[in-house]
């Protein structure tokens, strides 16, 4: 078994900035003969090499548009790289865009079952844990309510509670779960510490240098799609701030 949970070599990802008309069927047919005539290529990532050891917690920092989310999406197998390759040794769980998995018209319980299976739990596991999940998020009184009727805070409690009970080998996370609620934030922090103690591999992108410093053993910095620095959290944070003119 490899010592590394994730290995990425010479990763590159190209997108095309488009006009609205680029999306039409006739325009796409035109591209077969005259490739991408009116679309500007943009490299979101270029020549990125990365190796994440099993049990390591890697932080990814960088300004907006640096390529953090693109990198995480490629590592999670959500996007195919334009160049290079990725090898993942283990099951990846993604905590990105958590709110996108729910159906607002259905009940909290319906969504818990859906979220649970998406996060990697079987129905039998969810049935066994559902009481625990509901108690963890303290939303028992809303269990059979329509999801959209809950406040934003309670919606995040439901999602975060389901996510934090999932079995996780390798976790890829874009921004820490922001519950806007001190109780869930504290429980989330405790769960993250537990995951680290169990040797779960974590890759997290965040704008919060404090949180990155708290949870991560190593940090990489991206800037305009390139890997510009890899260091311990405190060193990486200082270099990042200095690079962007912040004291």
Helices (H), 198-232: 209-215
Q: How far is the CB of 39 from other proteins (least distance, A)?
A: 8
* Residue 50 and residue 11 in contact, taking contact as beta carbons nearer than 8 Å: yes
Q: DSSP secondary-structure letter at 23?
A: G
DSSP 3-state of 226: strand
Is residue 175 involved in binding other proteins (CB under 8 A)?
A: no
Binding mask 55-74 for other proteins (x = CB under 8 A): ------------------x-
- Ranges within 2-61 binding other proteins (CB under 8 A): 15-16, 18, 23-25, 28
Is residue 110 involved in binding other proteins (CB under 8 A)?
A: yes
Residue (81 or 233) nearer to other proteins, CB: 81
- Ranges within 87-106 binding other proteins (CB under 8 A): 92-94, 96-98, 100-101, 103, 105-106
Helices (H), the chain: 25-33, 68-75, 108-118, 123-137, 152-164, 182-197, 209-215, 233-243
d(CA 137, CA 165): 11
Sites of contact with other proteins (CB under 8 A): 15-16, 18, 23-25, 28, 73, 76-80, 92-94, 96-98, 100-101, 103, 105-106, 110, 113-114, 117-118, 120-123
């Amino acid at each position: 078994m490899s010592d590394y949970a994730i290995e990425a070599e010479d990763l590159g990802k190209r997108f095309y900035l488009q006009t609205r008309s680029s999306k039409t069927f006739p325009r796409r047919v035109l591209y077969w003969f005259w490739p991408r005539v009116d679309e500007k290529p943009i490299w979101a990532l270029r020549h990125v090499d990365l190796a994440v050891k099993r049990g390591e917690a890697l932080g990814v920092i960088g300004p907006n548009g640096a390529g953090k989310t693109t990198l995480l999406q490629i590592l999670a197998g959500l996007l195919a790289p334009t160049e290079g390759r990725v090898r993942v040794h283990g099951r990846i769980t993604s905590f990105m865009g958590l709110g996108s998995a729910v159906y607002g018209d259905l009940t909290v319980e319906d969504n818990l079952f859906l979220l649970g299976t998406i996060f990697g739990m079987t129905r039998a596991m969810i049935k066994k844990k559902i009481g625990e999940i509901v108690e963890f998020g303290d939303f028992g009184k809303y269990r059979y309510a329509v999801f959209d009727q809950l406040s934003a805070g309670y919606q995040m409690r439901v999602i975060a509670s389901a996510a934090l009970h999932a079995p996780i080998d390798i976790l890829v996370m874009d921004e820490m779960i922001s519950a806007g609620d001190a109780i869930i934030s504290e429980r989330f922090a405790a769960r993250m510490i537990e995951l680290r103690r169990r040797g779960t591999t974590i890759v997290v992108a965040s704008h919060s240098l404090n949180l990155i410093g708290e949870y991560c053993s190593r940090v990489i910095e991206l800037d305009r799609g390139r890997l510009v620095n890899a260091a311990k959290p405190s060193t990486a944070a200082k270099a990042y701030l200095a690079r962007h003119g912040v004291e």
